[in-house]
Amino acid sequence: MNDRGDRQKLLEVKDLRVNFKVKGGAFTAVRGVSFDIYKGETFGLVGESGSGKTTIGRAIVRINSVSGGEILFKGRRISGRITRELDREVVQNIQMIFQDPMASLNERAKVDYIVSEGLYNIGKAKDEGARRAAVQKALLDVGLLPEFASRFPHEFSGGQRQRIGIARSLIMEPELVVADEPISALDVSIRAQVLNLLAELQRSMGLTYLFIAHDLSVVRFITDRIAVINKGELVELAETEELFARPLHPYTRALLSAIPVPDPIVQRQKRVVPYDPAVHDYSVQAPSWREVAPGHSVLASDEELARYRDALERGDTLAIV
């Protein structure tokens, strides 16, 4: 357990709201999400499709615009309208890794251009020799051969393409990297490569990750803390092992029970617990974000909060996986 008091808050998301205009009004993708990310940690954001997790990631890198609340980076607001210099700082310090390696690279450009594209934008590509050296280093850092720079994306496999995408982000030397489902579209055996790479880069470059995923079992391996999001709202947030040992919110429990475990005997004995929103009775009081134990918060009403606290005190067996 680390003392969080002295760790720097790199990113603060405060009551974030994002609406999209669709036919017939507005669709609220993110409704009042708040969390902090500390320097050096890997923060997992887990949810199913439509939960709003990708929207949050994109709002942080300013691809999506924010309809309410704010996002702070190192204490300064980076959401909404900001100055050009601040925008430039965001570009340099916060980068994104995209999900689909088949769609996230420019097919008509050489790997050389793709990887160093960012350098052109921040004015660091003036010296051709330095630029090429930077590209070489970036490719080597992600485990690719420097000779790949003169080739086109279609000549590479999914895993290699994803690494090119990672090189593209890293060449900017960011502090925070938003990884939006970076391994979901990859083959199983390649996922391990990329996860190892991400972990290694974090150590060597001192990166902080926001790791967005839908697969809790993958996230367990790489994250320090996890937030579970359902339909635009956070339902639970805790340190990783704490979340797996003592999942409290019914949605978290349903999610955990639904993940198939690659162990036939264990899997066949598992019972899937479906999530039924009707299990909450919010007619009397709307739920709010409460701290159940230090570092462990849940979306709950007073009544549920009391129940959760009791369960924790009694030391009930809550673990599902």
Partner 1 sequence: MDTGNAPSAQSDGLDPSLFEQAEFDPNAGERSGYSNYSYWRSTFRMFLKRKSALFFLIILVAILAFTFIQPLLPGQKSPTTIYQDPATSMQYRNVEPGHEFWFGTNSIGQDLWARIWSGTRTSLLLGLTVGIAEMLIGITFGALWGYVRGLDRPMTEIYNVLDNIPTTILLMLLAYIMRPSFKTMVIAMCSVGWLGLARFVRNQIVIIRDREYNLASRCIGTPTRRIILKNLLPYLVSVIMLQTALSIPGTIGWEVFLTYIGLGLPVNIPSLGNLVNEGRLIMMSPDLRYQLIFPTTVLSVITISFYVLGNAFSDASDPRNHV
Partner 2 sequence: MQENGTILSVKDLVIKFRLRGRVLTAIRGASLELREGETLAIVGESGSGKSVFTKSFIGMLDQNGWVDSGSILFDGNDLAQYRKEEQWLGVRGKRISMVFQDPMTALNPLRPVGRQIQEVIELHQGLDGRQAQRAAVELLERVGITEPAMRSRQYPHEFSGGMRQRVVIAIAMACKPRILICDEPTTALDVTIQAQILGLIKALRSDFGFTTIYITHDLGVVADVADRVAVMYAGTIVERGTAEEVFYDPRHPYTWALLSSLPQLGVKGKPLYSISGTPPNLFNTITADAFAPRNPYALKVDFVRQPPEFRVTETHYASTWLLDPRAPAMEPPAAIRSMRDKYVARSAS
Rg (CA), the chain: 21
Strand order in the sheet with 176-180: 94-97, 176-180, 208-213, 42-46, 225-230, 233-239, 296-300, 288-293
Cβ of 303: how many Cβ atoms within 10 Å?
14
Residue 140's binding partner out of partner 2, partner 1, none, with CB under 5 to 8 Å set by partner kind: none
Of 199 and 259, nearer to partner 1 (C-beta) is: 199
Of 105 and 234, nearer to partner 1 (C-beta) is: 105
Report if residue 157 touches partner 2, rule: CB under 8 A.
Answer: yes
Of 160 and 301, nearer to partner 1 (C-beta) is: 160
CB < 8 Å & 24+ apart, contacts of 146-155: 148/111, 149/110, 149/111, 149/112, 149/115, 150/110, 150/111, 150/112, 151/110, 151/111, 152/107, 152/108, 152/109, 152/110, 152/111, 153/105, 153/106, 153/107, 153/109, 153/111, 153/114, 154/107
Residue 200's binding partner out of partner 1, partner 2, none, with CB under 5 to 8 Å set by partner kind: partner 2
Rounded to a whole number of angstroms, the minimum distance from the CB of residue 96 to partner 1 is 5
Q: How many residues make contact with partner 1 (CB under 8 A)?
A: 37
Question: Does residue 166 come out as left (phi exceeding 0), alpha (psi in the -120 to 50 range) or beta?
Answer: alpha
In this chain, which stretch among 11-19, 68-76, 123-131, 254-262 interacts with partner 2, using CB under 8 A?
A: 254-262
Residue 16 DSSP SS3: strand
Q: Of residues 146-205, which lie at the interface with partner 1 (CB under 8 A)?
A: 152, 154-157, 160, 165, 168-169, 172
Rounded to a whole number of angstroms, the minimum distance from the CB of residue 77 to partner 2 is 34
Rounded to a whole number of angstroms, the minimum distance from the CB of residue 114 to partner 2 is 18
Report if residue 158 touches partner 2, rule: CB under 8 A.
Answer: yes
Residue 89's binding partner out of partner 1, partner 2, none, with CB under 5 to 8 Å set by partner kind: none
Q: Of residues 85-104, which lie at the interface with partner 1 (CB under 8 A)?
A: 87-88, 91, 95-96, 98-100, 103-104
Of 79 and 160, nearer to partner 2 (C-beta) is: 160
Given a contact cutoff of 8 angstroms between Cβ atoms, the answer to whether 297 and 224 are in contact is no
In this chain, which stretch among 21-29, 143-151, 213-221, 246-254 interacts with partner 1, using CB under 8 A?
A: 143-151
What sign for the dihedral angle of Cα 195, 196, 197, 201? positive
In this chain, which stretch among 44-52, 116-124, 205-213, 265-273 interacts with partner 1, using CB under 8 A?
A: 116-124
DSSP string, 118-154: HHHHTT--SSHHHHHHHHHHHHHHTT--GGGGGS-GG
Contacting residue, 190, 229, 243, 320, with partner 2 by CB under 8 A: 190
Rounded to a whole number of angstroms, the minimum distance from the CB of residue 53 to partner 2 is 12
Could you tell me the two tokens for 321? 């996986």
Given a contact cutoff of 8 angstroms between Cβ atoms, the answer to whether 264 and 258 are in contact is no
> Which residues contribute to the site for partner 1 (CB under 8 A)?
58, 61, 63, 87-88, 91, 95-96, 98-100, 103-109, 113, 117-118, 120-122, 143-145, 152, 154-157, 160, 165, 168-169, 172
